[in-house]
C-alpha cells in the first residue's frame, strides 16, 4: 500500500473552503466528451484492451492532481502519494457487475496484461467484490459501455463527506471526424474546485492522444 501524509489544517491553504463545504457536504460532477480517436487506433494496432488503456490513463490523470488524491483516514484529512483504480466488470451470464482493482500501474502494457488476467480469473464470480477488501487509496472507475450519455449522476448517502473521486465512462461514438467518449467525474467541493476538474480533463485528453 502506498503512503500518505496527514494534512495540517492550521496551515492548509484551503482550510476555509474545506470546512465550509464539509459542513454542507457539497459534491459536484461534470461530464465531458473526450476525443479517443487516437486511443482506439492505438489499442487496435497493439491488440490491447481499450477499457484497460482507459483505466490506466484515467488513473494517471487523477494522480497528477494532488486535490484528487485527498481522503479521510481516522477523521483526518490526508493526501495519498498515489491512487490505484477499482473498476467494474460485467458477468454476461448473471447480468450483474462486479468490482476489481489493480495494484500496479507501471505502464499501459502491464496494466493490460493484469486486467485481462483478472477478468478471466473472475469471469464467473457472483460476488460484488470478489477480490476481498478494496485498498483504501482508490479512485473508483465505472463503465457503461452500452450508452453514449450526455451526463451521468449518482448519489450515495452511505458515506458522508466522501472525498474519493468517482469516474464513469460511457460508450464512444463518432462525432464528425472524431470518436468521442463521455467521461463523468464526481468530486467533493471541500477538496476540489472546477479548476482541478478542468485540469483533469485537460491532462486526460493529452494522455489519450499519445501515439
**Residues acting as catalytic residues:** 189
Question: With the CA atoms of 12, 17, 23 and 27 taken in that order, what torsion angle do they form, in degrees rounded to the nearest 10?
Answer: -110
Q: Which three cell numbers stand for residue 49?
A: 484492451
13 phi and psi angles, rounded to 5 deg? -60, -30
Name the strand (E) or helix (H) holding 121: helix 108-121
SS (H, E, C) 137-204: CEEEEEEECCCCCCCCCCCCCCCCCCCCCEEEEECCEEECCEEEEEEEEEEECCCCCHHHHHHHHHHH
| Consecutive H or E run containing 51 | helix 50-63
21, HSE (Cβ side, Cα atoms, 13 Å): 17
Residue with cell string 503512503: 3
CA gap 4, 10 in Å, rounded: 18
- Please give the grid coordinates belonging to residue 25: 457536504
Q: Which three cell numbers stand for residue 127?
A: 460476488
Amino acid at each position: 500500500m502506498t503512503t500518505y501524509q496527514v494534512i495540517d489544517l492550521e496551515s492548509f491553504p484551503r482550510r476555509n473552503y474545506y470546512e465550509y463545504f464539509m459542513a454542507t457536504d457539497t459534491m459536484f460532477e461534470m461530464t465531458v466528451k473526450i476525443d479517443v480517436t487516437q486511443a482506439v487506433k492505438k489499442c487496435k494496432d497493439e491488440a490491447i484492451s481499450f477499457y484497460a488503456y482507459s483505466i490506466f490513463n484515467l488513473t494517471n490523470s487523477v494522480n497528477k492532481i494532488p486535490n484528487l488524491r485527498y481522503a479521510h483516514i481516522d477523521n483526518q484529512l490526508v493526501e495519498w502519494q498515489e491512487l490505484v483504480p477499482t473498476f467494474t466488470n460485467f458477468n454476461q451470464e448473471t447480468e450483474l457487475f462486479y468490482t476489481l482493482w489493480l495494484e500496479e500501474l507501471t505502464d499501459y502494457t502491464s496494466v493490460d496484461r493484469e486486467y485481462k488476467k483478472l477478468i478471466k480469473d473472475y469471469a464467473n464470480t457472483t460476488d460484488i467484490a470478489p477480490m476481498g477488501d478494496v485498498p483504501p487509496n482508490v479512485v473508483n472507475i465505472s463503465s457503461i459501455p452500452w450508452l453514449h450519455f450526455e451526463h451521468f449522476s449518482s448519489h450515495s448517502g452511505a458515506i458522508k463527506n466522501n472525498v474519493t473521486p468517482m469516474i464513469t465512462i460511457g460508450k464512444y461514438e463518432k462525432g464528425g471526424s472524431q470518436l468521442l467518449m463521455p467521461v463523468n467525474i464526481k468530486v467533493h467541493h471541500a477538496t476540489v474546485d472546477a479548476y482541478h476538474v478542468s485540469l483533469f480533463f485537460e491532462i486526460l485528453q493529452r494522455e489519450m492522444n499519445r501515439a
